[in-house]
Amino acid sequence: DIRLDWEIYNQEEDDKKLVDLLMFFGDPFPPKDMDENETASTGSNSESEIVLKTQGCTCSKEFRSNTKSKEKEIVTQEPTTQKIVSVLIRPHEGVPADNPFSITPRQIVIPGGGSISVCISFTPRVLPEASPEVQCEGFVLGFMNLDDKLARTVPNKVHRRHGYEVPPLRIDLQAFLSHALLKVDMDHDRGMVFYSVASDLIPDQPLLGVLTDSVMTQSLKLINCTKVPLYFRLRLSTPFSLSSTDPKKSTKTSHSKKEEKGQQPQLVLYPQQNMLVKVSFHTTLELLTYQHLPDTQLLPGFQVLQFENGERKLKFNQNLVIEHSNCTTQV
């Protein structure tokens, strides 16, 4: 069996370091349990600590015990050859890091003649607005270790190198990070403009009474021109609303089950696909009362227009906000 211990490194442009000086106490790659806590093994440094504490006793016993067998003599000499402190100088190629690349599990054991899988992930960070695209480069090194003493060393016959003594398994990593951006396609360059009058609340048959809500709807198209799926939510407030989205081109994510009630569902748009979104404007009796409110009590985006002939109009300005899953917004 071969145990692989993974280490991740980032490659930085301004890194001028030439060599790395590494110092280890005991085993540089100790076996670990599922919680990544070190566990005792046949190759641990516990024997080395015992030799240091009882060095005087073991030496005197070796001189007096000339009648010991050859096998026992090898056993008593083996702990003295174990390394207590290791110093390594190697070329500097990258900076140890845990992000944006990561690998799980960090330690695996590959059985003889078998195989095993690992997961390499890339977690993008929030990209500054001044940077249109960022390239991330790194690599993963898998150091091969042998836990079995007989596999490492056969007395007086062979010694197999492991850990830092052998070239590691290397996997180069590269990722490109750009802004999450959806293309918004509308019929008019000036955006969506709704014209409504108060008489829209009067039905064709006045005997039925006044309507409480009159709805006008327009459509727009969202297009994903990037190379990755984009997860997002659409935000609008009264008197505008999202009346529907195209169910064939949008999919709720697995996080939707945990979303709070009343919150817009998270949608996903895959590369080179589009989604039809219907936006509605609601004319209500409550909106008509806004014309009598002072400017200090009007909500942001609400405006009362007063004309010379005494006519009044209510103007509502609002942006459709696209809230991406990486906490960035697009207006």
Residue 15 falls inside a structural domain = yes
Beta pairing partners, 180:
none
What's the rounded Cα separation, in Å, for the pair 10 and 7? 10
288/37: higher pLDDT: 288
Residue 306 pLDDT: 76
Tell me, yes or no, whether 263 and 120 share the same domain. no
pLDDT of 44 higher than 70:
no
Q: Whats the size of the chain, residue-wise?
A: 331
Instruction: Give the rounded percent of residues in the chain with a pLDDT score beyond 70.
Output: 76
Residue 243 pLDDT: 73
Tell me, yes or no, whether 203 and 231 share the same domain. yes
Q: What is the pTM of this model?
A: 0.56
Residue 68 falls inside a structural domain = no
Tell me, yes or no, whether 132 and 171 share the same domain. yes
Reported as a pLDDT band with limits 50, 70 and 90, residue 74 is: very low
- Asked whether the beta carbons of 312 and 287 are under 8 A apart, the reply is no
Last residue of a domain, one of 178, 210, 230: 178
324/67: higher pLDDT: 324
Residue 62 falls inside a structural domain = no
The count of structural domains within the chain is 2
What's the rounded Cα separation, in Å, for the pair 127 and 179? 7
What's the rounded Cα separation, in Å, for the pair 246 and 269? 11
Residues 142-175: b if buried by 16+ CB within 10 A, e if exposed: bbbbbbeeeebeeeeeeeeebbbeeebeebebee
Tell me, yes or no, whether 162 and 211 share the same domain. no
Tell me, yes or no, whether 144 and 127 share the same domain. yes
What's the rounded Cα separation, in Å, for the pair 27 and 31? 9
Angle at 46 between CA 45 and CA 51, to 5 degrees: 95
Tell me, yes or no, whether 140 and 191 share the same domain. no
Q: Span 279-291, mean pLDDT?
A: 81
Q: Which of 79-83, 177-181, 209-213 has the highest mean pLDDT?
A: 177-181
Q: Which residues contact 37 (CB under 8 A, 6 or more apart)?
A: none
- Residue keyed to tokens 């079995």: 148
Tell me, yes or no, whether 94 and 109 share the same domain. yes
Residue 66 falls inside a structural domain = no
Residue 52 falls inside a structural domain = no
77/139: higher pLDDT: 139
Last residue of a domain, one of 149, 178, 207: 178
Angle at 262 between CA 260 and CA 263, to 5 degrees: 65
Residue 10 falls inside a structural domain = yes
- Two structure tokens written together for 265: 């569902």
Tell me, yes or no, whether 26 and 93 share the same domain. yes
pLDDT of 99 higher than 60:
yes
Residue 90: which domain range?
2-45+82-178
Average confidence score pLDDT of the chain: 75
Q: Which residues contact 221 (CB under 8 A, 6 or more apart)?
A: 184, 185, 186, 274, 275, 276, 277
Residue 40 pLDDT: 55
Residue 50 falls inside a structural domain = no
Tell me, yes or no, whether 286 and 219 share the same domain. yes
Beta pairing partners, 184:
222
243/282: higher pLDDT: 282
Tell me, yes or no, whether 160 and 208 share the same domain. no
What's the rounded Cα separation, in Å, for the pair 170 and 173? 10
Residue 61 falls inside a structural domain = no
Last residue of a domain, one of 178, 206, 222: 178
Tell me, yes or no, whether 136 and 274 share the same domain. no
What's the rounded Cα separation, in Å, for the pair 27 and 165? 13
Tell me, yes or no, whether 170 and 198 share the same domain. no
